[in-house]
Amino acid sequence: MNATYLRKEFDAGLSWEAYLATDPERAPKWQAIYEQVNLSPPQRSLVEGFSRQIRMLCVSGIWCGDCVQQGPLIQRIAECNPTIDLKWLDRDEHAELAEQIKINGGLRVPVVIFMAEDWEPVSIYGDRTLTRYRAIADKNLGAACPLPGAPVPDDELHETLQDWLDEVERVHLLLRLSSRLRQKHGD
């Protein structure tokens, strides 16, 4: 994936509101998780301190239980700082991109492609965080995709939020310490 291709895909992405509007029947389940979780004051302070622009493209499926449980957390993180530009794409409508970001040979979601300000790829992270995998393993030790709207314990949501926040912070530090970007910004 090159920067030109990623920019084209990013430009096709939707805002949170527009993405949820693509499926009004399922959107309330996303909104319920969104309302259930907020960043803690220290988490919010951390994200508010980010200075490099981070472009995040979340390849998702509004029908996917893991996306319902993680997408709102990703949105909450992005809302904390205007330097984070988050867009949403439906995996099935962007099959070419989905093929390029397969995880373990599968079309997984949610997957976030992190990019620098100039669209250079920085990281790809997803389908489930470690906390999500632990929770699923505790329940059935097999492949599972919970139904959208299935209850999610608060502690699992908060730990999953921290997993996503850790990756966003890692990407920010990578960008902040990048020789190329430090030279460009004189810092």
Question: Mind listing the pLDDT tens digit for each residue in 173-187?
Answer: 999 999 999 999 999
* H/E element, 95: helix 95-100
CATH architecture of the domain formed by 3-185: 3-Layer(aba) Sandwich (3.40)
Choice between 79 and 1, residue whose per-residue pLDDT is larger: 79
What pLDDT, on a 0 to 100 scale, did the predictor assign at position 148? 54
What pLDDT, on a 0 to 100 scale, did the predictor assign at position 153? 82
Residue 143 has pLDDT above 70, yes or no: no
As given in the structure block, the two tokens for residue 125 are 């992270």
Report the predicted TM-score, pTM, of the whole model to 2 decimal places. Answer: 0.91
Residue 141 has pLDDT above 80, yes or no: no
CA dihedral 10, 11, 14, 15 (to 10 degrees): 90
Question: Mind listing the pLDDT tens digit for each residue in 57-108?
Answer: 999 999 999 999 999 999 999 999 999 999 999 999 999 999 999 999 999 9
Mean pLDDT of 144-153: 62
Mean pLDDT of 39-62: 98
Percent of the chain with pLDDT over 90: 84
- When pLDDT is cut at 50, 70 and 90, the band that residue 139 belongs to is confident
Mark residue 140 as left, alpha or beta (left: phi above 0; alpha: psi -120 to 50; beta: remaining). alpha
Q: What residue segments make up the domains of the chain, in order of their start?
A: 3-185
| Cα 68 from Cα 45, distance rounded (Å) | 25
